[in-house]
Amino acid sequence: MNKKTEFFHQKDVVRIIDPLFKEYYAILKEVFLNKNVDIQHIGSSAIPHALTKKDLDIQIRVPEKYFEIAVKILAELYKEHHSELWSEQFAIMTHFENGIHIDFVITVINSKYDNFYKVRDYFIANPVELEKYNTLKLKFQGKDYLEYTRAKRIFFTEMFGEQGDMNL
């Protein structure tokens, strides 16, 4: 049986997700000490008024010279995820903690993949566009997760072009 989508209002999960982000932020800052790494809370749980899967997405933006080592370090801590999408500038790790799915998106700063925090900021600044995204999610509430991800990729590609397709 395929996984079903379940969305929650961001305001209902913020009390769980925000402290978790702060915990991982501190861990990641310690791991990447003095490496000019930028750690961002991304995804719908970081966007007020968004519908979210009650998960945590963290973007780890690294200088190109540190990308390979960053991936190696995180691979020792977390599980590789969506490796079919990986490149020399983009990788994802995943982890579960207390029933919360956490994705770590590692990108090279200023690469074509370095757009996740920009998408978050776009939706925060454009509530009409956020409402369109929430409407898409509501269409798939309780339905097949793979169908939702296909529709989401189309939505992001139409909204942001080719780079929008990377917003899993």
Query: Cβ distance 29 to 36 under 8 Å?
Result: no
Instruction: Give the span between the Cα atoms of 102 and 156, in whole angstroms.
Output: 21
Neighbours of 68 (CB within 10 A): 12
Within-domain flag for 38:
yes
State pLDDT tens for residues 54-103. 999 999 999 999 999 999 999 999 999 998 989 999 999 999 998 999 99
Within-domain flag for 2:
no
Model confidence, pTM: 0.92
- Domain of 147 in residue numbering reads as 8-166
* Ranges of H-type helices in the chain: 10-31, 67-77, 116-125, 127-139, 145-160
Helices 116-125 & 127-139 angle (0-180, nearest 10): 110
From first to last of its 168 residues, the chain has per-residue pLDDT tens of 578 999 999 999 999 999 999 999 999 999 988 678 999 999 999 999 999 999 999 999 999 999 999 999 999 999 999 989 899 999 999 999 989 999 999 999 999 999 999 999 999 999 999 999 999 999 999 999 999 999 999 999 998 876 555 554
CATH of the domain at 56: 3.30.460.10
Instruction: Give the span between the Cα atoms of 124 and 161, in whole angstroms.
Output: 19
Within-domain flag for 79:
yes
**b vs e for 5-14, b when ≥16 Cβ sit within 10 Å of the residue's Cβ?**
bebbebeebe
Count of domains for the chain: 1
**b vs e for 105-131, b when ≥16 Cβ sit within 10 Å of the residue's Cβ?**
bbbbeebebbbbbebbeebeeeeeebe
